[in-house]
Amino acid sequence: MASLFSPPLHRQRHQFIIDFVKRDKPKKVVDLGCSKCCLIKNLRFHREIELLVGVDINLAKVTKKMHELAPLSTEYLQPRCSPLSIELYQGSVTEKDARLRGFDLLTSVELIEHLPLADVERFSEVVFGYMTPVSVIISTPNSEFNPLLPGLTGFRHSDHKFEWTRAEFQSWAMKVCEEFGYEVQFTGVGQAPPVQQERVGFCSQIAVFQRRGGRLGLNVQSSDDPNQVFSYKLLYSVTYPSLRDNNILRRVLVCEVLYWAEKLKRGWMEKKTDGGDETYTLSKTLSKRRFGFENMHERLEPDMDRTCEEETKTSAGRCEGAASEDEEGVYEEAFWTDSGGQETKQRRYVSCVPLALLCSSCPKVSSLSGSLTNLRHLLLDEPSVTLTQDGSAVRLMDKEQEQEEADNDDLEDSGYTEMSHCSLGAVQEEDWEADL
């Protein structure tokens, strides 16, 4: 049977929840009756969410797709700012479990109609009286719409215990609000033809509950309360990489620092060489190469924040003052090698990029580190980054000289005079509604 709705009805229900999440930005979300975790798979990409929980009584459905919730490779390349944990449980929505208390959002998509009417009251008590989420979204079939579904006789699914009219659904919801302190609004998805919409309503009716007072006055038991109940069985748990992990933060920060330091150095060198000004030619004026970065920010970023500008000048000034003609420090280093009994002096030239310039030129470096002091501290013991003696700048050696030095080291270590070089590669299923 061709779908009667476009997009299909189950996608419209999920999109309704996704739009709610985009607007309200809940941090903790639980989906009751998660089935094959379709909704959770979509919600995991919303980076405001820090905890996603799914609960279903059907073990086979949950375990069939749960490993697809593992982090994607892109999650490691671009970690989240805040952590995300996903947990899946097997359990009944009519039973209490302390781990699900106090969530920001609870969803129940086409679930309540699968409960015997005698259990609906228990469901209300568990969800609204015990779990006490700030917001609750519940959808259920609207039986008034059924005559418009061709070929349907009886309920939409063989496991449905009832299907409410709009008046019955609203009566139950208003009773919940009165008893447990919530407010509710009614809407739905799956519109009828315009001439019939007002008479039959939506195909799936939706109630959006909001706890009066939000989180104010919310009383949630502490985690060490001996009277807490844990009736659900944990089936799956995974934590996504995030910048809250100091090792991940350092790795991402180092990559950004090295990339931007090299980019700034190249930009400065291109401006000097393309400008035709011989006083800046690297081969003629070493000091300009060593300390040219002190004014580079004025050429590249004319509207830079003045505080960072002053700190950049101060950092470069300290380094320049510390290096005299006799003691050139970290900016120009000399080392000796023995070649055929004769000593040959070789000089290694180093460019220095102030950390303050990196903070002002790269917003991501600034946001990751938080401050110039934190940036210096995070880079201090990082083996892949070399700082100046006072820790105010990143030292970058010429790639050609760096490669030449590495080749010399290889020759000395191996004892061979000739070497060959190589490159390193581095939704709940419904019998009838499946076709909607």
| Whether residues 250 and 287 fall in one domain | yes
pLDDT at 151: 87
Q: In the listed set 184, 210, 239, which residue is the last one of a domain according to the structure?
A: 239
Is residue 283 located within the same domain as residue 232? no
Total domain count, the chain: 2
Q: How does residue 407 score in pLDDT terms, banded at 50, 70 and 90? A: low
User: How much is the average pLDDT of 290-306?
Assistant: 37
pTM (whole model) above 0.85:
no
230 and 294 together in one domain = no
Lowest mean pLDDT among 34-38, 97-101, 278-282: 278-282
- The three-point CA angle 262-267-272 to 5° equals 125
Which of residues 224 and 141 earns the better pLDDT score? 141
Average pLDDT of span 215-238: 77
**Residue 39 sits in the same domain as residue 58:** yes
Chain-wide mean pLDDT for the chain?
79
Residues 301 and 222 in one domain: no
Q: How does DSSP assign 41-106, residue by residue? A: HHHTT-TT--EEEEEES-HHHHHHHGGGGSPPHHHHHS-BSS--EEEEEE--TTS-BGGGTT-SEE
**Residue 281 falls inside a structural domain:** yes
Partners of 339 in the β-ladder = 342
Instruction: Looking at the structure, tell me whether residues 176 and 262 fall in a common domain.
Output: no
In a domain, 68, yes or no: yes
Is 430's pLDDT higher than 50?
A: no
149 lies in which domain range?
9-239
For residue 13, the model assigns a pLDDT of 97
Among the candidates 239, 254, 284, a domain finishes at: 239
What percentage of residues in the chain have a pLDDT greater than 70? 70
Residue 303 has pLDDT above 80, yes or no: no
Residues 111 and 201 in one domain: yes
Structural domain includes residue 430: no
- Asked if residue 48 has pLDDT above 90, the reply is yes
pLDDT for position 315: 41
**Percent of the chain, pLDDT > 90?**
53
Note the pLDDT of residue 235. 97
Of residues 318 and 87, more confidence is placed in 87
Indicate if 264 and 223 belong to the same structural domain: no
- Looking at 239, 255, 271, the residue that finishes a domain is 239
Residues 278 and 364 in one domain: yes
Residues 141 and 50 in one domain: yes
310, pLDDT greater than 90: no
> CA 93, CA 220: separation in Å to the nearest integer?
19
Q: Is the pLDDT of residue 311 over 60?
A: no
Residue 288: the pLDDT is 38
Alpha helices in 275-305 (DSSP H): 286-291, 296-300
Which uninterrupted H or E stretch holds 197?
helix 194-200
Q: Is 414 exposed, middle or buried (0-12, 13-18, 19+ CB in 10 A)?
A: exposed
Q: Which of 33-37, 332-336, 352-356 has the largest mean confidence?
A: 33-37
- Is the residue at 303 inside a domain? yes
Q: With H, G, I as helix, E, B as strand and everything else as coil, classify residue 18.
A: helix
pLDDT band at 270 (very low <50, low <70, confident <90, very high): confident
pLDDT, tens digit, 9 for 90 and up, residues 104-140: 999 999 999 999 999 999 999 999 999 999 999 999 9
Is the confidence at residue 248, as pLDDT, over 80? yes
**Residue 426 located in a structural domain:** no
Q: What is the pLDDT of residues 8-47, one digit of tens each?
A: 999 999 999 999 999 999 999 999 999 999 999 999 999 9
Judge whether residue 277 has pLDDT over 90.
Answer: no
CATH number, domain of 207, equals 3.40.50.150
- Lowest-pLDDT choice from 10-19, 314-323, 413-422: 314-323
Residue 316 has pLDDT above 50, yes or no: no
**pLDDT at residue 246 in the model:** 87
**pLDDT-based confidence at residue 432 (cuts at 50, 70, 90):** low
Residue 436 lies in a domain: no
Highest mean pLDDT among 46-60, 244-258, 401-415: 46-60
Dist CA 82 CA 243 (whole Å): 7
- The answer to the question of residue 28 being in a domain is yes
Model confidence pLDDT, tens digit, residues 167-223: 999 999 999 999 999 999 999 999 999 999 999 999 999 999 999 988 765 655 555
pLDDT range class, residue 290, cuts 50, 70, 90: very low
Query: Domain for residue 432, yes or no?
Result: no
Strand partners, 239: 85
Identify the pLDDT of residue 426: 38
Is residue 250 scored above 60 in pLDDT? yes
Q: Is the pLDDT of residue 165 over 50?
A: yes
Q: Does residue 158 share a domain with residue 109?
A: yes
What pLDDT score does 45 carry?
93
Instruction: Look at 352 and 122; give whichever has higher pLDDT.
Output: 122
Residues 174 and 32 in one domain: yes
Provide the angle, in degrees to the nearest 10, between the axes of the packed helices 117-124 and 166-180: 40
Place of tokens 């055929």: 340
What pLDDT does 266 receive? Answer: 85
